[in-house]
Amino acid sequence: MMGPAHSLSGAAAWLCLGAAVAAAGHPMPWPVLAVGAMICAGAALAPDLDHKSATISRAFGPLSRALCGIIDALSHSVYKATRMKGDPRRNGGHRTLTHTALWALLIGAGASGLAMVGGRWAVLAILFVHVVLAVEGLLWRMARTSSDVLVWLLGAAGAWILAGILNQPGNGSDWLFGDPGQEYMWLGLPIVLGALVHDLGDALTVSGCPILWPIPIGRKRWYPLGPPKAMRFRAGSRVELKVLMPAFMVLGGVAGLGALELF
């Protein structure tokens, strides 16, 4: 799928999680719901850091472009080192390492650890990156007609404001993990969810997605999971733009109301 659809699916996924825990009698504080949806929308773009034309690879200028080259090379090396006889030869690393459930879990765990160890500035950095990505994904028309600096300033301001709101007593800095020193440990959860939703979205497309790597399936370790080929679509097709994106918006809106217990 393309960037806007990925971001919408990420936001909708977190709002659905919020609705589910509210229905179970443990509603999220509204700042956790809002910030989590923002992070999840941004994190749903992150697996495409292995592709030089992806939104995330352009989002932070030379820094993200350089990181893209490193991730692409790393992904390609891991693919070559672990491929089985049934896996085809490849020239690049797109849709390999960063499109696996294992990668999603590692990135989320790393973000949680960084937030706990690094304190406020680490939290601000995590929020800044994901607010910028969420703007790039959800408000892509505005982002592409604006300067990168303006988007970065919006991300910095948003991160500062959101961190200030979360730091208020009862607003969720210690949501889910309440022991001393575990503040903001939950920030890794929307990052994991966003990456997994990205992978599931790509699994619906023609190429599929190797979500279960390194578990071998048949003669392939990088088996491209997905529905039957007749049910798949091409990225950017009418199915994505006219069916899935409106569905994500409606689902997210309904789930958000449920998460806030407004019906």
Question: Given the structure tokens 């919006």, which residue do they identify?
Answer: 154
Q: Which of 100, 122, 98, 101 is nearest to 111 (CA)?
A: 122
Predicted confidence at residue 159, as pLDDT, reads 95
Spell out a b/e string for 194-210, using b for 16 or more CB atoms within 10 Å of the CB, else e.
Answer: bbbbbbbbbbbbeebbb
Predicted confidence at residue 45, as pLDDT, reads 95
Q: For residues 7 and 68, is the Cβ–Cβ distance under 8 A? A: no
Q: Which tens digit of pLDDT belongs to each residue from 215-245?
A: 999 999 999 999 998 888 887 788 888 899 9
- CB-neighbour burial class of residue 228 (10 A; exposed 0-12, middle 13-18, buried 19+): exposed
| pTM beyond 0.75 | yes
CA separation (Å) from 152 to 28, 60, 63, 211, 240?
A: 28, 8, 13, 31, 28
